[in-house]
Chain A
Amino acid sequence: MNKEWPLWEVFIRSRQGLDHKHAGSLHAADAAMAIENARDVYTRRMEGVSIWVVESKHIHASNPDDAGALYDPANDKAYRHPTFYDLPDELKHM
């Protein structure tokens, strides 16, 4: 039997209206314990108003070796940025 508790990834939302950000990882026996542990480990200094946890094994990551194929083709496609519009002066915060 594997006696190690599984690893969990912790996401904390620091204020209402913001999105959850990855805070780190920890060990816990199940989701309820992972949330309690996250509260104790990552919100001691008033960092959070909401916690998400997900077992690390459920996170599928892109392979760094594929970086060339995945990201490089975007390099010379400046037209994908919405920078070719004339914005009226009244429009702020764009």
Chain B
Amino acid sequence: MKNQSLIDYTLHLADNALIIGHRNSEWCGHGPILEQDIAISNIALDLIGQARNLYQYAAELKGDHATEDSLAYLRDGWDFKNLLITELPNGDWAQTILRQFFFSTYQYFLYQQLQHSKDERLAAIAAKALKEVTYHLRWSSEWVIRLGDGTDESKQRMEKAVEELYAFTGEMFLPTDYEKELATNGISVGPESLKEKWTDKVRSVFEEATLASPFKENNSAWMQSGGKEGKHTEHLGFVLAEMQFLQRAYPGAEW
């Protein structure tokens, strides 16, 4: 019997990793210096590797001749379940760093719990990915601190990035139906349970970075949402157009 919720959840995790991985890969050859060009490209490769593991699993669950490639290259925008924050344009280095920091913090606490999932495959993928994500979090935290507590210009760029991105963080903790259903079986992680740890981590790094806390007293900030259920910003279409072009124009093309 097919478990649609498990397929949806696995695709959601995979899409997150693929789309932010693709965004980071756009830095390849354009990083601010050689060493950071390699660092962000490494992170992109880690994330695309995670996406592959998850797509392979989703393809097995789905059957019907689905493959990791058909899931990545032949689905349309409304089929993608990634968080909106992952599809946003890179902006400047500060914006890319902050997006990675927000996302890695979320992924870190998520995988920490998901490695104990009752679904063995998801647990194994999470356990393997957690080591990579631990490094992504360490790297992006360092950069948030450097830029926030750096020069006037770097601080101002970080502040602008916070303004751009903060409204896209709330979606991480809004559970969808597929997450709710799987959480009761101990398969998924109820994302609302990650919010406190995520907030604490962001607060402590922001403090060290001498950045103003984005958190409002009564949690009243208005937040974007929809990505986890296929409602996306206009940016995803451009990501897919570039990423999927080859397989769309030359179906089945191989190296």
* Known A5-B33, A27-B33, A27-B34; contact A36-B146, beta-carbon cutoff 8 A: no
Contacts known (A36-B139, A40-B42, A44-B42); A26 close to B35, Cβ less than 8 A: yes
Q: Which of B22-54 contact A (CB under 8 A)?
A: 33-36, 38-39, 42
Q: Which residues of B contact A54 (CB under 8 A)?
A: none
- The chain B residue with its CB closest to the CB of A5 is B33
A41 within 8 A of B: yes
A24-56, CB < 8 A from B: 26-29, 32-33, 36-37, 39-41, 44
Chain B residues in 8 Å Cβ range of A41: 35, 38
Q: Which residue of B lies closest to A39 (CB)?
A: B135
A55 to B33, CA, bound (A): 18
Chain A interfacial residues counted at CB < 8 A: 13
Q: How far is the CB of A71 from chain B (nearest CB, A)?
A: 36
Interface residues on B, range: 10 to 19
Min CB distance A78 to B, Å, is 47
- When distances are taken between beta carbons in the complex, the residues of chain B under 8 Å from A28 are 35
* Beta-carbon nearest neighbor of B40 in chain A: A40
By CB atoms of chain A within 10 A, which of B35, B39, B135, B139 has the most? B35
Shortest Cβ distance from residue B144 to the other chain A in the assembled complex, whole angstroms: 13
Give the residues in chain A near B38, CB-CB below 8 Å: 37, 40-41
The answer to whether the Cβ of B132 comes within 8 Å of any Cβ in the partner chain is no
CA separation between A41 and B33, bound complex, in Å?
Answer: 12
Alpha-carbon distance between A91 and B107 when the two chains are bound, in angstroms: 57
A37 touches B35 (CB 8 A): yes
In the complex, the chain A residue whose C-beta lies closest to that of B150 is A29
Is the CB of B119 closer than 8 A to any CB of chain A?
Answer: no
Residues of A within 8 A of B135 (CB): 39
B75-100 interface (Cβ within 8 A of A)? none
Question: Are A33 and B142 neighbours in the complex by a CB distance under 8 Å?
Answer: yes
Docked Cα-Cα span, A36 to B36, in Å, equals 10
Q: Is the CB of A40 within 8 A of B34?
A: no
Q: In the complex, which residues of chain A have a beta carbon less than 8 angstroms from the beta carbon of B36?
A: 37
A36 in contact with B34 (CB, 8 Å): no
Contact with A along B187-208 (1 / 0, CB 8 A): 0000000000000000000000
Task: Let me know if B39 and A40 touch, CB within 8 A.
Answer: yes
Q: Which residue of B lies closest to A30 (CB)?
A: B146
7 A-B pairs with C-beta separation under 8 A = A26-B34, A27-B34, A37-B36, A37-B38, A37-B39, A41-B35, A44-B42
B contacts, CB < 8 Å to A: 33-36, 38-39, 42, 135, 138-139, 142, 146
**Closest A-B pairs by Cβ, 10 of them:** A37-B35, A40-B39, A40-B38, A26-B35, A40-B42, A41-B38, A41-B35, A36-B139, A27-B33, A27-B35
